[in-house]
A and B are shown apart, each in its own frame.
Chain A
């Protein structure tokens, strides 16, 4: 994955796969603390304790079709190679919280990339998904939320406009 926003899309897809109807994404860039953090929280089915212990192992998956599950393993490797870490806490039937941190000035830190496109794709076809996004950059904040209108998630023109609005919102943080 060449952008952190692709990892974010992967995390959001995990939440959807877990049956979540409510997902929140928070991205924090804090220059004084030299920290970039990504938080995803959902109300999906959660992860059992024994699975949680080995969840970032690339040969761990809930799928029965094959034995690899690379998403979290790749994110953990990226976070750790950038002086950060990956933490996951979960309660079955309640939901899951994932947080990934990175050193903001680390030479290997991938670019954040196109978060607006990530959110547009995540919302595509996801009727009923209540989604919120907050981006904090050195004291400035941008927020976007979608109440999960059943039909709008399928309308191309609407989704593209949403992408444009988020792009403008992120730009305003500079």
Chain B
């Protein structure tokens, strides 16, 4: 990936894939990126989620961000929202846990109980 042409080609490929995502309810990963989240490592966590999703070629999961939700001691906090299932909040997530959450929860549907701080 060196030039603008490469980026434009990737843009078209990405848009085509995203059309598929828009046609159905998608899974969402929401990371807390407030001041507390950032200080605790949320930037690396978002990066790890993006890398893991890209590596597995998963395009129907979106990664979004939210601010501080008031549980700063457990930051970085991550919500995994799968339509039709309870929203699961993981606490003290780091890059390695993020990759495991993708593999175990997002792909295989198994909640990683050890890191859960809340289930709604």
Interface residues of A (CB under 8 A from B): 1, 6, 9-10, 13, 17, 63, 65-66, 69-71, 74, 114, 117-118, 120-121, 124-126, 149, 151-152, 154-161, 163-165
Q: What B residues does A118 contact at CB under 8 A? A: 43
12 pairs, A vs B, C-beta closer than 8 Å: A6-B38, A10-B35, A13-B67, A65-B70, A66-B70, A124-B64, A151-B14, A156-B53, A156-B59, A158-B10, A163-B47, A165-B7
Docked Cα-Cα span, A74 to B35, in Å, equals: 10
User: Which residue of the partner chain, among B1, B18, B46, contacts A154 with CB atoms under 8 Å?
Assistant: B18
User: Which residue of the partner chain, among B43, B59, B65, contacts A155 with CB atoms under 8 Å?
Assistant: B59
Docked Cα-Cα span, A121 to B11, in Å, equals: 18
Total inter-chain residue pairs, C-beta < 8 Å: 92
Interface residues of B toward A: which range?
A: 35 or more
Tell me, yes or no, whether B33 is within 8 Å of chain A by CB.
Answer: yes
A125 close to B65 (CB less than 8 A): yes
Interface SS of A by simple majority: helix
B47 close to A121 (CB less than 8 A): yes
